[in-house]
Structure 1
Amino acid sequence: MSVELIAFYLIGAITAASALAVITVRNPVYAVLCLVLTFFSSACLWLLLQAEFLAIALVLVYVGAVMVLFLFVVMMLDIKIDPIREGFARYLPVAGLVAVIMAAEMFTLIGVNRLRQTIDPANPALVDNGSNIEWIGRAMFTDYLLPFEIAGVILTVAIIAAITLTLRRRPGTKHQDAGRQVQVRAEDRVRLIKMDAETKGQNP
């Protein structure tokens, strides 16, 4: 059994165990930390399969943005399951364990990359003496340019539709009209009263 296959089974086992922990642990913060480990381990599997673009996208989008946002949201919510707001020290052991596992996976990938000497003939990126990201970019903007543009248009329409649905007026809610605010004149909001000097300060 090769070193690459051993690393694949080891990281796959970590991915399955952390994914199982996401749905079994009761503490939401622990669940989010396990989900971060699941995504990171999945990215390591993509790297072992020589799909660097998918691995980088998974780390940057999900681990770096979505899961950190989930973690902050869970920390700010007042959930009655467990005493969540007990300080950073409560979650430090689990966070440290997750960080150690992630570091071990990174060192494993570095070792596998150094031991990998042969070029996979089924991988078009390595056959062209280029990276996977370069090959995907060239294929996306040459052979698949029209589907890529159609997907961009569909996503733009979906974003506009979502914004339109959220901006609909509901009865009983207060809204601001920027156009009417700009058109406001001082004469419509402020009334100046001129008083005589001899009557100022006297009782009516």
Structure 2
Amino acid sequence: MNFTSIVFYVLSAILIVSSFKVITAKNPVHAALYLVLAFVTSAGHWMLLEAEFLAIALVLVYVGAVMVLFLFVLMMLDINIEKMREGFWRHFPLAGVIALVMVAEMTLVLMRPGTQLAAYQAREPLAADFSNIRELGLLLYTRYLYPFELASVVLLVAIVAAIALTMRKRKDSKYLNPGEQAAVRREDRVRIVKMDAEKPAAAGDDAAVSDQPQA
């Protein structure tokens, strides 16, 4: 067993443990931090596959942006942990069986002869000036163009659905209508009152001021 294999198994063990802790941690902030660890170890797997661009993108996008947003949301919301974890262990056996079936399917697909994994293991070492970014772009926009476009459409639909769910009218939420704000007139909000800058003092007021003792 060479050094690369040792690093792969160590990263895989860390990834499995951190992924399990993501769904079993009682504190949601701890679960988010375990997810960060899972992303970092996945980036290590990409580095072993000599896909440096994907590793850097995984760290920058998910760890540096998405997970920071998740942590802000988790810290700002008052989450009821006990209510959120209700029924977890009741559904855990079924979820475990489904996970084992998925792992078995992935193992059979990746380990059968003729797959891209077998071809990768039998390939020659890459040249020093090999650009995995260029190779990734060629694969995305030639062989996998239609799946790539389909994934972009699915993400667009998800964004529109999220906006629609957020903008729906609820009785317990306050919202503003930008159209009504833009159509408002000055006469509806502001009332101009004209008055004199100075009010002349009455004669009785002057006499009262003069009768006061001087300090």
- TM-score, structure 2 as length reference: 0.57
Taking only the aligned residue pairs, the percentage that are identical comes to: 56
Query: Match for residue 69 of structure 2?
Result: 69
Aligned-pair RMSD on alpha carbons?
A: 3.8
How far did residue 137 of structure 1 move?
A: 0.6
Q: Which amino acid aligns with 2:59?
A: V
User: How far did 1:36 drift?
Assistant: 1.6
Cα contact 1:19–1:38 (8 A) shared by 2: yes
How far the C-alpha of 1:25 sits from its partner, in A, is 4.5
Tell me, in whole angstroms, the C-alpha distance in 2 between the residues paired with 1:162 and 1:74.
18
Counterparts in 2 of 1:21 and 1:177: CA distance versus 1, 3 Å:
closer
Count residues with an aligned counterpart: 163
Instruction: Give matches, 1:34-73, under 5 Å.
Output: 34-73=34-73
- Measured against aligned partners, the alpha-carbon deviations of 1:161-184 in whole angstroms (never above 9, x if no partner) come to 331232222346443222222222
Distance in 2 of aligned mates of 1:174 and 1:72: 22
Q: Alignment partner of 2:142: what SS? A: coil
Relative to structure 1, the CA distance from residue 79 to residue 144 in structure 2 (aligned partners, 3 Å threshold; closer, same or farther) is closer
Q: Distance in 1 between matches of 2:5 and 2:195?
A: 93
Report matched runs for 1:1-204 at 5 Å.
Answer: 1-77=1-77, 122=123, 126=126, 130-171=130-171, 173-192=173-192
SS at match of 2:126: helix
Give the whole-Å Cα distance in 2 for the aligned partners of 1:79 and 1:143: 44
- For 1:92, the equivalent position in structure 2 comes to none
In the alignment, residue 42 of structure 2 is paired with which amino acid? S
Structure 2 unpaired stretches of 5+ = 82-119, 203-215
- The alpha-carbon deviation at position 65 of structure 1 amounts to 1.9
SS in structure 2 at match of 1:141: helix
1:111 matched residue in structure 2: none
**Matched position secondary structure for 1:142:** helix
Determine the C-alpha separation between the residues in 1 that align with 2:80 and 2:188. Answer: 51
* 8 Å Cα contact 1:52-1:132 kept in structure 2: yes
Match in the other structure for 2:112:
none
TM-score, normalization by structure 1: 0.59
Distance 2:189 2:76 in 1: 41
**What per-residue deviation string (whole Å, max 9, x for no partner) do you get for residues 126-160 of structure 1?**
37962222201122223433443343234223322
Opposite residue 38 of structure 1, the aligned amino acid is A
When structure 1 is superposed on structure 2, of 130-139 and 158-167 the one drifting more is 158-167
Cα distance in structure 2, aligned partners of 1:165 and 1:2 = 52
Asked which structure has the greater CA Rg, the reply is: 2
- 2 CA distance for matches of 1:168 and 1:80? 24
Unaligned runs of 5+ in 1: 82-118
Higher relative contact order (CA 8 A, sep 6+): 1
Inter-partner Cα distance in structure 1 for 2:30 and 2:194: 68
Q: Deviations over 1:7-26 (max 9, x none)?
A: 11122222223334444554
Structure (1 or 2) with the greater helix fraction: 2
